[in-house]
Chain A
Amino acid sequence: MTKQIRQLDRVVIRFAGDSGDGMQLTGDRFTSETAQLGNDISTLPNFPAEIRAPAGTLPGVSSFQVHFADYDILTPGDAPNVLVAMNPAALKANLVDLPRGADVIVNTDEFTKRNLAKVGYQVSPLDDGSLDGYVVHPVALTSMTVGALAGLEVSKKDAERAKNMFALGLLSWMYSRPYESTLRFLERKFAARPELVAANVAAFRAGWNFGETTEDFSVRYEVKPAKMVAGTYRNITGNQALSLGLVAAGVRSGLPVFLGAYPITPASDILHELSKHKRFGVVTMQAEDEIAAVGAALGASYGGSLGVTTTSGPGVALKSETISLAVALELPLVVVDVQRAGPSTGMPTKTEQADLNMALFGRHGEAPVAVIAPKSPADCFHAALEAARIALTYRTPVILLSDNYVANGSEPWLLPDIDSLPDLRVQFATAPNGEDGTTFLPYLRDPATLARPWAVPGTPGLEHRIGGLEKADKTGDISYDPANHDLMVRTRAARIDTIPVPDIEVEDPDGDARVLVLGWGSTYGPIGAACRTLRQRGLAIAQAHLRHLAPMPANLGDVLRAYDRVVIPEMNLGQLAHVIRARYLIDAIGYNQVRGLPFTAAELETTLEEVVKNA
């Protein structure tokens, strides 16, 4: 049978199943195949904090959404065009996001009376007409997989577990994906168990062949490669990119990287990744707690390493006293906060931007630090380098505010030329700096950077003592002098305020916008997508995105004042808006959601349209 081939410019697919069904892996493989084809991609995993919630229940549903297109895209997509539902729970949990007319591929084998009852279906939705608005493809995924593996020496359990590869094979056929990399991946993954390689490959091929032969799928789709900047790409998640950025910072500074970390979702992947790169001189220490993790990092910085600690909000709270010590000691320290929904344990696998206040203000005393935030998964690489640059140059703690959305989401990353990365080499103090030629003054500053000398133990003649007690200017001796304290507090503030950061750029293609939308961090994608759609519809809107939150770009005030209205969408209750209002006396309009999910471009489009029309 010859199938019709239809061209599409973009597709959003969501793979959903039980948390044991391998949906993250399936989505990841589909993404990799799609990247190979040269489509632009953006992904969004969504999984429960429970490792194995009770099978077949709504809390146990795990999903992976991938958006791919023949043009550059900014988000993982608002609504799926295709939902793969491996069981009734996956269907029920995801149907709400599905627009009418979307394709729904369901694993009918799992639609048993018992599984239906688990999620409150009295009658199967496949039979009661409730899915009439969708294009439903009932596929007996499990039994067909088991059937396809009949001749192989695998247990029934292992055969059933291969059903995700059947689904992947079917979807790969539907969207004409190149699958060689998946076959290679399976060989690597199950290298120790050849029978599982055979089983998974057979399941994949069975799914592909099923698409090819069954009449239920009459159309096959193609999405042409996107026009992207020339170069070599790989698909990368934010946590991976951030880890590589830290390795690169070590190479470019010539310093050993020391990571002190305590396991915490969603930051642990950075610890896992960096622990693989010892050949770069990267030392990782899984500390006894969050406080030890940052303490050890600070101790390493004191000894001349690039000290880094990675965590999420609850961990930053615990580290706050040590970050203040680092402010007083004026030593480099990179603190990565992969934000998650709080307060307290909150929703550990869901995203939020609600740690901005803590990053900016969450310490005792006047304890300013630099704060930066990456705007996308690939941008985490460059943000890590920038955090290291500021920390090393200005001898200060830097808080890098990632979040669960960029940390676990992925996108194509144009591999940088190593020589183009910033030069982060530092000059340690080697000789006394006092006027008499013999005295060492640990708090005599570089007039350009206001940084104090970094005199590491082992340097003869520079023996000195530092500590959390207030220090006298220049000498670093303990001082309770009122005027000295005033001077030191103001100097520490000036140290951060005068760090040169790039001006904020405004995207206002026609230059006639009266409304500016200002964002920071991971909202860049949805804000950009919404602005793009509005402009296509003939509305003028300007977009600016903050990477540096402390200090803020010098031109920010002028930029904000050039517009009649400033809208600030945030995944919190208005933390940046609060700062902007206080600092620039701008009557910023907040748009705030704290649902644990990124904004959809559509909701931002609606909100921004209203502001533009009323401006």
Chain B
Amino acid sequence: MPEPTALKLTAKDFKSDQEVRWCPGCGDYAILAAVQGFMPELGIPRENIVFISGIGCSSRFPYYMNTYGMHSIHGRAPAIATGLSTTRPDLSIWVVTGDGDALSIGGNHLIHALRRNVNLKILLFNNRIYGLTKGQYSPTSEIGKITKSTPVGSADAPFNPLSLALGAEATFVARTIDSDRKHLQSVLRAAAEHQGSAFVEIYQNCNIFNDGAFDQLKEPATRDDYLIRLEHRQPITFGTDGQFCVVHPPGGFGLEVRETATTPTDQIVVHDATVTDPAYAFALTRLPGPDLRNTPIGVLRSVNRPAYDTVVQEQVATAKARTDQTLEQQLARLLANGDTWTII
């Protein structure tokens, strides 16, 4: 990622001249404002920032950012961004995608970008529905979902995007919510600082086709009891009065939620996103129930592994350093490589 420089940019500098055309009330507006507000913090000149998207409501995002941008084709943004990042490691590259784009048609590219650890910041706007095609169920829709294409309920189980990312060897996995600007920006900050692929799931409300999908996490009456706000190196407690906590029961494989009052303090799990074994972060992703109770947000995992683009560019640099010939001289030698003969 480029070195921050002293730039005096504001959110306004990141607004393009294009009219924003999401439905009034869409969660995408809040995310756009949060991203535009965060961008000046990066300290990177606008020309070195690129937003690449696929297809879907969220994928209109690049048009509204006054940076370089490409609105590509359905599901392929991670692949296109991989080619760009591999050849242009000087750029700060952000992929904007949705649950259908990233997890259905583009699932293969997503998991391979994560596996390679390409230096991309991937923002997955998860609204658990197909919006742009007007309301079919998505790969994150809850089982039994009634939509236009599933009038008696969907028969297939959904993906848990964070579990999937961890299975794909992701080095940075986080979750945040469209309506919580402060939290969203804190997650963006952590993602931007990460070397390699940063996968950020953003719960986003589609007020037309799946309104209120995340209301339990947003309503003042329920949110504190439902949300687990992860803080690095802090004991995981939550609830209005911190009445719940997360423990790792002896003999069990995963994590469980308990009453804090009846749990010895030393049994409460202290969150550590840098744990090498992905099993811990995976266990965190499995805490929420179907009603979204016990949903962790924040950075679940952040570990170091060489980024694909960095390694590839190092290989090129090493090969180039082995010779002091000009490219033309090398080319002449390459063409004449092997058994040659000369006719006079």
Contacts and interface: CB of A to CB of B under 8 A. Distances in A.
B213 to A, nearest CB: 27
B320 A278 contact: yes
Nearest to B59: A467
Contact of A291 (B76, B318, B328): B76
Contacts of A366: none
Interface string A297-331: 11111111101000000000000011001000100
Contacts of A258: 83, 86-87
A298 B69 contact: no
Given A234-B336, A291-B76, A467 B63 contact: yes
B320 A295 contact: no
A465 B62 contact: yes
Given A281-B320, A303-B88, A463-B47, A322 B341 contact: no
Contact of A260 (B83, B85, B316, B339): B83
A502 to B, nearest CB: 23
Interface in B323-344: 323, 327-328, 330-332, 334-344
B341 A291 contact: no
B322 interface: yes
Nearest to B16: A465
Contacts of A304: 87-88
Interface in A259-287: 260, 277-283, 285, 287
B319 interface: yes
B73 interface: yes
A458 B48 contact: yes
Contact of B109 (A247, A256, A278, A288): A288
Contacts of A419: 328
A231 B88 contact: no
Quick one: which of B83, B332, B343 has the most chain A CB within 10 A?
B83
A38 interface: yes
Nearest to B317: A278
Contacts of A460: 45, 47
A329 B109 CA distance: 21
Nearest to B81: A299
A399 interface: no
B70 A465 contact: yes
B46 interface: yes
Contacts of B327: 251, 280
A322 B86 CA distance: 19
A299 B18 contact: no
Contact of A463 (B46, B88, B312): B46
B240 interface: no
Nearest to B82: A296
A285 B82 contact: yes
Contacts of B70: 302, 329, 465-467
Interface string B74-90: 00100111111111101
Given A235-B339, A280-B331, A295-B76, A467 B47 contact: no
B47 A462 contact: yes
A459 B47 contact: yes
B334 A415 contact: no
Interface string A444-469: 00000000000001111111111111
A278 B344 contact: no
Nearest to B75: A291
B179 interface: no
A230 interface: yes
Contacts of B340: 232-234, 415
Contacts of A416: 335
Among A233, A235, A301, A465, the one with the most B-chain Cβ atoms within 10 Å of its Cβ is: A465
Contacts of A248: 331, 335
B339 A32 contact: yes
A277 B334 contact: yes
A192 to B, nearest CB: 20
B226 to A, nearest CB: 36
B274 interface: no
B342 A233 contact: yes
Given A292-B79, A329-B70, A463-B68, A256 B336 contact: no
Contact of B331 (A288, A297, A418, A478): A418
B69 A466 contact: yes
A131 B334 CA distance: 47
A453 to B, nearest CB: 13
Contact of B47 (A277, A321, A329, A457): A457
Interface string A214-252: 000000000001001111111100000000100110010
Interface in B92-130: 108-109, 111-112
A278 B328 contact: no
A300 B126 CA distance: 28
Nearest to A279: B319
B87 A244 contact: no
Contacts of B85: 299
B154 interface: no
Contacts of B337: 234
A322 B315 CA distance: 28
A108 B79 CA distance: 55
A289 interface: yes
Nearest to A417: B332
A477 interface: yes
B316 A278 contact: yes
User: Which of B50, B108, B343 is packed against the most chain A CB atoms within 10 Å?
Assistant: B343
A468 B108 contact: no
A299 B341 contact: no
B67 A463 contact: yes
A606 interface: no
B330 A303 contact: no
Nearest to A414: B343
Interface in B25-53: 45-48, 50, 52
Given A283-B316, A304-B88, A467 B16 contact: no
Contacts of A282: 316
A303 B319 contact: no
| Residue picked from B50, B80, B87, most chain A C-beta under 10 Å | B87
A229 B343 contact: yes
B113 to A, nearest CB: 9
Contacts of B68: 457, 463-465
A277 B315 CA distance: 11
A115 interface: no
Contacts of B84: 299-300, 302-303, 457
B117 to A, nearest CB: 14
Given A281-B320, A295-B79, A233 B47 contact: no
B91 interface: yes
B15 to A, nearest CB: 12
A278 B343 CA distance: 32
Interface in A402-460: 415-416, 418-419, 457-460
B103 to A, nearest CB: 15
A457 B50 contact: yes
A213 interface: no
Given A232-B342, A278-B320, A283-B87, A465 B63 contact: yes
13 contacts: A225-B343, A247-B331, A258-B87, A279-B319, A283-B86, A283-B87, A288-B108, A291-B76, A296-B82, A300-B83, A300-B87, A305-B87, A466-B71
Interface of B: 16, 18, 45-48, 50, 52, 55, 62-63, 65-73, 76, 79-88, 90-91, 108-109, 111-112, 312, 315-316, 318-320, 322-323, 327-328, 330-332, 334-344
Interface of A: 32, 35-36, 38, 181, 225, 228-235, 244, 247-248, 251, 256, 258, 260, 277-283, 285, 287-289, 291-292, 295-305, 307, 321-322, 325, 329, 415-416, 418-419, 457-469, 477-478
The 4 A-B residue pairs whose C-beta atoms are closest, nearest first, are A467-B71, A299-B83, A296-B83, A295-B79
